[in-house]
Amino acid sequence: MAALLTAVLGATAMHSDSGAITAIIGGGAVTVLLSVKEQLHEFADQFDETERLASMKFVLVVLVVLPALPGRSLDVLYGLNPRFIWLMVVFVTGLGFVAYVLGRFLGPTRSIAVTGIVGGFVSSTATTVSMAGKATQNEGLYHVCAFAVVVASIVMFPRALVEVAVVNPRLLSSVAVPLGVMTFVGVVAAGALYWHTRTDETVEPDELRNPFRLRPALLFGAIFAVVLLVSESAHEWFGTSGIYATAFLSGLADVDAMTITLSKLAADGTISTRVATTGIVIAATANTFLKAALAWALGTDRLGRLVSLVLGVVVASGLVLVAV
């Protein structure tokens, strides 16, 4: 493989000046990869054959499907842009995959804080359900589990900021204020929770599922398309209140879809920056309420009370800012 790449890079360098630059960059990248070949093999061995095949299938579908999709709005799809939708699927799934790889790299001995952060990027809802179950199995660990749930929940806010920055950078400065404050309050609250509930006991994290799988990716694409259509229709029929209602209901299921939808609508001029910002905060608030409800329903009363108190303070800080 290295010999083949060398030949390809050599031909690229001979093609043009820009090709020479590409060859230099590519050669440097190949050199770095070869220097850490053994470490890469060891890391790859941490993934079983099923995971590797699932990831390869997803990457293959991305490489084949994305260039073939129309990059314009289609009337037959009610004005949806297939390439944009699939690109957002790849982007959101990629965020989860980076966190998943980090979690596998750190291994099962990672701290509960890292478990919450990684779980927040892969699936904060799954992390909440997992920790609620562990608190039920051992009530003495409710404070440790609450800390993991809170950390996983507040990771959602910077994740949303990343999505806004990619889809609509001009919206970022507006959204960064409430979500930034919610993140800050959440970090302070989580730190206080950790400080007052420190223990030598640990919680063994559940095995994370590889997000680079075709079925959940297609499901997210379908959810995103529906949310986009419903949001546009709700705005047309009911105005701003329709956007806010859709944001709340959609946020219960998927914050990513609503965040990207509102960012795109604001970029297109369909809604104002203020409406988009408020809608994103509402979606994040709804999803945070869901985490508290899951902690109550699936965990213990003490876990539910603690998670609800901390997350209640977090969402209140954001709602106050958008209400002013």
Residue 108: partners with Cβ closer than 8 Å, 6 or more residues away: 204, 205
> pTM for this structure?
0.73
Kindly state the percentage of the chain with pLDDT values over 90. Answer: 29
pLDDT for residue 109 = 46
C-beta pairs of 196-199 under 8 Å, 24+ apart in sequence: 197/143, 197/144, 197/146, 197/147, 199/143, 199/144
Ranking 28-37, 57-66, 200-209, 270-279 by mean pLDDT, the lowest is 200-209
Instruction: Say if residue 256's pLDDT is above 60.
Output: yes
Mean pLDDT of 153-157: 92
Cα–Cα distance measured from residue 256 to residue 206, given in angstroms and rounded to the nearest whole number: 23
| Tokens coding 83 | 């390439």
Residue of 209, 206, 193 whose CA lies nearest to 137: 206
Mean pLDDT of 19-36: 62
- The number of CA neighbours under 13 Å toward the Cβ of 59 is 8
Q: Is 31 exposed, middle or buried (0-12, 13-18, 19+ CB in 10 A)?
A: exposed
pLDDT for residue 40 = 58
Q: What are phi and psi of 18, to 5 degrees?
A: -65, -35
- Write the secondary structure of 31-75 as one string of H (helix), E (strand) and C (coil): HHHHHCHHHHHHHHCCCCHHHHHHHHHHHHHHHHHHHHCCCCCEH
The predicted-structure confidence for 204-221, as pLDDT tens digits, reads as follows 555 556 555 667 777 778
Facing residues of 80 across strands?
74
Of 324 and 161, the one with more pLDDT:
161
Torsional sign, CA 124, 142, 137, 305: negative
Instruction: Say if residue 269's pLDDT is above 70.
Output: yes
Kindly state the percentage of the chain with pLDDT values over 70. Answer: 66
Find the farthest-apart pair of alpha carbons in the chain and give their distance in angstroms, rounded.
69
The answer to whether 158 touches 179, Cβ cutoff 8 Å, is: yes
Mean pLDDT of 277-305: 92
Q: How confident is the model at residue 130 (pLDDT cuts 50, 70, 90)?
A: confident
pLDDT for residue 200 = 45
The predicted-structure confidence for 41-66, as pLDDT tens digits, reads as follows 665 565 666 666 766 766 776 667 77
Torsional sign, CA 103, 109, 110, 115: positive
Q: How confident is the model at residue 199 (pLDDT cuts 50, 70, 90)?
A: low
Computed over every residue of the chain, the mean pLDDT equals: 78
Residue of 136, 127, 308 whose CA lies nearest to 207: 127
Of 90 and 10, the one with more pLDDT:
90
Task: Give the rounded distance of the alpha carbon of 11 from its chain centre.
Answer: 40
Ranking 108-122, 185-199, 262-276, 283-297 by mean pLDDT, the lowest is 108-122
Of 117 and 255, the one with more pLDDT:
255
Mean pLDDT of 185-210: 69
Ranking 108-112, 156-160, 215-219 by mean pLDDT, the lowest is 108-112
End-to-end CA separation in angstroms for the chain: 60
pLDDT for residue 312 = 94
